[in-house]
Amino acid sequence: MKNALRSPVLVRLMIAFCVISAPFTHAASVFISEFMAQNTLSLQDEDGEYSDWVEIYNAGTTNINLPGWRLTDDAGDTAKWVFPETNLAPGTFIIVFCSDKNRRIGGAELHANFKLSASGEYLGLYQADGAVAHEYAPSFPAQTADMSFGIPAGTESNALIGANAPCRARVPTDDSLGMAWASNSFNDGGWQAGTTGVGFERGTGYESMIGLDVGAAMYASNASCYIRVPFVVANAAQIRRLTLQTTFDDGYVPYLNGRKGPGANNPDDLVWDSQATGVSAEPETAVVDVSDLSGALVDGTNVLAFHGLNQTNTSSDFLVLPRLDGVRDLFSPGTTPAVLATPTPGAMNGSAFVMTTSKARFSHERGFYDAPFVLTLSSDTPGATIRYRTDFYEPTVSGGILHTGPIWITKTTCVRAIAYTNGYLPSECITRTFIFPAQVVTQSATQTAAGFPGTWVQAGGSSVSADYGMDQRIVGPSDICGGVYRASITNDLRSIPSISIVTTISNLFDRYAGIYSNPNGIGDNWERPCSFEYINDPRDPDGMQINCGLRIHGEANRSINNRKHSFRFLFKSQYGDSKLRYPLFAGDPVEEYNTIVLRCMYGDSCVGNRDGTYLREQWAHDTQRAFGHPVGLHGRLVHLYVNGLYWGLYNAVERPDDAYMADHVAEPRENWDILQGLVTAAEVSLAEGSRAAYDAMMALVPKSPTTTISDVTYAQLEQYLDMPLYAEYMLLQLYSQNYDWPNKNWRVACQRNLADPAGPPVIKFRYNLWDQESTLGFYAQDRTTVGNDLTGNNGRIGPAQIYKRIRGHRKFKRLFGDRAHKHMFNGGALTVESNMARWVALMVDTKGAVVGESARWGDHTFVSAPYTRDRFTFNPSTNWYQAMGGRTNSWFPLRNAYFLNSLKNAGLYPTVDAPSFNQFGGPISGEFSLVMTAPAGTIYYTTDASDPAKEDDTVGATASAYSAPVPLAQNVRVKARTKSGSLWSALTEAVFIAGRPSLRVTELMYHPPAPPVGSPFLAEDFEFIELANIGTTTLPVRTFAFTKGIQYDLSNSLVQLAPQQCLVIAKNPAAFVTRYDTSSYAVVGGYAQSLDNSGEQIAFDDALYSTVQDFAYIDTWYPETDGGGYSLTIKNVSGPVDLWNTQEGWRGSFLQLGTPGYIEVPEPACLLFLLAAFAARRRMAPGQRAAAGMPRMRGGSGDDMRRV
């Protein structure tokens, strides 16, 4: 029974007005602020039903006690429904469902004794003395489904922080404050006090703007200053828009009650002594919409904090002078009511609904074209005007070409269009890129005619010549490659998907504001609006487009001399949708993205490396996912076009930030701490959240020459660090020989414990691979000594600092050896065969695309002997196939043996050989016998998931010594080790599958009837799912978990289900036992989700077998099960699993309230079953029987009911 507010379906809207005026009166500060008279999917009541609702608001300043107040839909019956004892505080709302259920219990959900008429009728609120408080008279207008009607919120502007505001400041001397200083609860009593602005002036100019001079503490000491400006807010929830005006020199980052906002000239990763990334004007003023921070406001004292930044610690002046303005929602019954833009039951109303002009429609899809065509534009809004542009600017209602007829498209063109009409908001700008590959092939180095500059000039004056051209020596008519690429290039450009960026030329190449001509620009101040298009994916030929923010990304590749730079896309509501909602990466379980990075792969490309493969990064991510890492990144190679110009081959990949972790692991986003290693950071840089837990974890492994750690400290470290995932992360880094790490290129995340931010996190720290371009070098390189040095790439930093300290501990050595064995043997992710399969798959996908890249950038570094895909006499060592051969012919075939020997020498892999199985897991049938072999020693094995070896190296309590083939007849996990003397081998572990487990879902109570009035429980508390063992042997349930519909893991359950026995998973076990006799079956549960009353997908998995059942139910199959008191029960528990997806496979239960704990036998044996069930019901307490009602028997067809 899912209970959620859902967005209205606007496609159903058929309204011939934008704002409706209706007569009404009011006489008090309490009024009907909003109502919905035709609710089908907006707000559910406690019974899971979509009842009409009325919202009442107290706009006054005192509490209003509502007993005796009345609500009515009949002007002639003003006391139709009377409020119970209900207190309505100032600025708060109360919802009354107009459901005709008449529930009047104070503090509980309220239900009136009438329903609203969608065709329009009277609606009035009366005070206890009979006076009209507020009414819609003589009637409100006809209503549309799932659109609410009420009082639009007005607005009022307030200066929350004005001139000469009290403030405090401190120049930090270390990082001891973390981020605590930015919160509104921080005690800044010892800080320097004054008024805004904060700064210093060693010359002349800023004196009149400075109210708090920090020059004595800041000059020549630190380029950073912490600033706190307190302010008081009443009714914070009413503030809907915030504008921050900051006059500054040279940079800043704001925080509202600890939540970070957009700054200027700031590095992405701030530390206590950060410097500004650019120089401001003298001074500069930025006015920024920071409404995204309004949710951080609280009633009472708030703090706007600033991390002020100077360019250096010896700059001659510094200034941060803020002004914060808020726009407050005003709610008044004197405002003309209207259809509201969005239903907001229980919250402040938004604006009146105004129709938006339908987006411009294009007659042709984005993508590739070989011949000219005629493009036409249209809009679904009658009479709409359309304007378009092809010069990369967005058109406006007053700027752009009026679309009056067909547009002739003869070359690569980016068309941007809007539609608008009177009385409607203009549509969003839509962009489509039409690419003519034959023209791309001849792309000239000079693009001034298209508006591109011939030189890229930075703000400081340095410049490089622009690079736009396709090398005609590679793909031209007089090429030096024997025509190989000339014949294939147009197909090569289509061989993988493409991304098209469209933005103004100035956004990219302006001397002072262009992000591409100023690639070192970092932070919010260097973000520009753009259009993002995805083109030519076979999974979706139509592609997609979204408007978003664009930045330059990366570190080393930002040098202007590199010319080919990485990009980052940021999806924000200020540009369009707040997320990219599209299945960008095949196989990614998440299809919503806050950020996507386009990596130029500098260190693995012809721009930065003669051995460039373009595959190292993606191979590493694919491998980490093959390990089963829960947050291994998804990505793929794409072609990139910038304003219609081909820009080369890029790696599109997810970015492991806090939004990524929330989407892939667990909400909420703000609870994630993300830290990273950067070349610009001495040790670690905080990306998001707090570093308190990270610092506490690293304090357990201080820098030291020793490789020992006590058992106590190791156990403490395990509370912070996800050790199995860490071991696999280190395994992959050491295996792939990442030499550009660990001094940088790592990211680590945890979800902090809010009660103790420095304590063990809720979700332990886990490391993500990031920037793996510098891997797969010389196969005979030993990286197991990483962390031995105090400096350099082997430095004792971050993950290497941990590794250095724990690699000698027996638990870690065993764990590491087990993980190495798992992945390097028996078809694991690091076997030669698996590695080659992933590499060759990437190679096949890229071999055509690399031709375009070589023509675009192959001459960047190798001018006279351009980089190409194939080997030619002019470039025997600078070609893609040469780099490929180095991996496929030597690196992967030879690396494993060398690496395994390195691990043995380092004590990270045992010298005793692990057991081999005659079949390494998988399906088994008949009288299968497992044969285990080992060159020496005794093999010990288990079949109960325990380890054959104890931590103290003794033999496990349930382990058996192998002496003869082991018969296997059911699903089982076998673990085995070899013991030779006192030494143990690595673990060999395999799962054998004899068939689908005999556990089935046999009953669903997805929409229970409501409990009696006065019950402490809700209807949804009585939901349950029944599982039954339909097999012939006892079945432990600890390996099963529900993964769809509800999330519930049985791994901690000790229940062993006998044949034909049932287990009930109850949403609320405490509620369940008040309705049912549970003496003959087990009840577990307490799941957070609710089953959907309209039907949904249900699935449960087995840790051994994988998905056991995955099916959908629908509420319309048997209406009596949709709140009518009956459950859905399966007809034939032993039938094919496909039946669970059909109406024919189910029926309504024989008894009211269902039959939990019993398998309903097929008719005609139901009578005996019912007699037994009825006898069990008779054993219930009288109060329980009264709550449940007498059981009823139904005919199998579900159409005839009679008492038993």
Q: Give, as one character, the DSSP assignment of residue 28.
A: S
pLDDT of residue 153: 82
Separation between Cα atoms, residue 1193 and residue 1152, nearest integer Å: 8
Please report the sign of the dihedral spanned by the C-alpha atoms of residue 512, residue 514, residue 518, residue 520: positive
| SS3 at position 1044 | strand
Q: Give the pLDDT score at 1195.
A: 42
147 vs 862: CA distance, rounded Å: 63
Name the strand (E) or helix (H) holding 745. none
| pLDDT at site 219 | 96
Contact predicate 394/496, CB 8 Å = no
Residues 6+ apart with CB under 8 A from 608: 556, 557, 562, 602, 861
The torsion angles phi and psi of 663, rounded to 5 degrees, stand at -70, -40
Structure tokens at 858: 């192959």
Judge whether 1035 and 1053 are in contact, CB under 8 Å.
no
pLDDT at 7: 31
pLDDT in tens, 629-665: 888 999 999 999 999 999 999 999 999 999 999 999 9
Residue 23: the pLDDT is 36
DSSP 620: H
Nearest-angstrom CA–CA distance, 1132 and 1138: 12
Q: Give the Cα separation of 211 and 166 in Å (integer).
A: 9
Rounded Cα gap, residues 595 and 507, in angstroms: 19
Distances (CA, A) of 160 to 234, 327, 405, 631, 853: 11, 10, 51, 42, 53
Kind and range of the H or E run holding 822: helix 810-824
The pLDDT value given to residue 4: 37
pLDDT for 145 equals 86
- Cβ contacts of 827 within 8 Å, gap of 6 or more: 833, 834, 920
> What amino acid occupies position 166?
P
Distance from chain centroid for Cα 851: 35
| Contact by Cβ (8 Å): 978, 985 | yes
**Angle of CA points 216, 222, 227, to nearest 5°:** 75
Strand, coil or helix: what is 1068?
coil
The type of residue at 1046 is I
d(CA 486, CA 393): 34
- In this structure, the strands spanning 166-170 and 154-161 are unpaired
> How many whole angstroms separate alpha carbon 941 and alpha carbon 959?
5
Give the span between the Cα atoms of 311 and 316, in whole angstroms. 10
- Note whether 1-153+333-355 and 157-330 share their fold: no
Inter-residue contact 1146 to 1120 (CB < 8 Å) = no
Q: Say which amino acid occupies 36.
A: M
Residue 934: helix, strand or coil by DSSP? coil
What are the boundaries of each domain within the chain?
1-153+333-355, 157-330, 455-529+553-654, 916-993, 999-1203
Q: For tokens 């664009």, what's the residue?
A: 550
The three state secondary structure string of 328-364 is: EEECCCCCCCEEECCCCCCCCCCCECCCECCCCEECC
Angstrom distances, CA of residue 902 to CA of 373, 404, 624, 817, 829: 62, 72, 21, 12, 19
Residues in the chain with pLDDT < 70? 1-28, 281, 680-682, 790-795, 1162-1204
d(CA 775, CA 767): 17
What confidence tens digit (pLDDT) does each residue in 752-765 have?
A: 999 999 999 999 99
Q: Is 790 helix (H, G, I), strand (E, B) or coil?
A: coil
- Cα 509 to Cα 276, 452, 458, 515: the distances in Å are 22, 8, 9, 7
User: If we measure between CA atoms, which residue out of 1091, 1095, 950, 1116 comes closest to residue 1026?
Assistant: 1091
Instruction: Take residue 1122 and report the two structure tokens written for it.
Output: 């949709």
DSSP state of 616: H
Q: Are strands 916-917 and 983-984 parallel, antiparallel or unpaired?
A: unpaired
Q: What are phi and psi of 216, to 5 degrees?
A: -65, -40
- For residue 5 the two structure tokens come to 């507010």
271 and 691 Cβ atoms separated by less than 8 Å: no
**Which helix (H) or strand (E) is 952 found in, with range?**
none
H/E run at residue 8: none
State residue 99's pLDDT score: 93
Longest alpha-carbon distance in the chain: 100
What is the CATH class of 1-153+333-355?
A: mainly beta
Q: What is the pLDDT of residue 444?
A: 96
Q: Please spell the DSSP secondary structure of 280-341, one letter per residue.
A: --SSEEEEEE-GGGGGG--SEEEEEEEEEE-SSTT-SEEEEEEEEEEEEEE--TTSPPEEBS
Contact 773, 738 (CB under 8 A): no
Angle at Cα 1145 formed by Cα 1143 and Cα 1149, nearest 5°?
90
> Residue 790 to residues 317, 801, 804, 1050: CA-CA distances in angstroms?
37, 10, 11, 47
What is d(CA 1204, CA 1199) in angstroms, rounded to the nearest whole number? 16
Across 564-643, where does the E strand assignment appear?
566-570, 580-581, 592-593, 595-599, 635-642
Q: Which run of H or of E encompasses 836?
A: helix 832-846
pLDDT in tens, 1130-1183: 999 999 999 999 999 999 999 999 999 999 876 544 545 555 554 544 344 434
In 3D, which of 779, 685, 15 has the Cα closest to residue 339? 15
Quick one: which H or E segment has residue 857?
helix 849-857
The rounded distance, in Å, linking the Cα atoms of 162 and 231 is 10
Say what the pLDDT of residue 574 is.
86
Architecture of the domain whose range is 157-330: Sandwich (2.60)
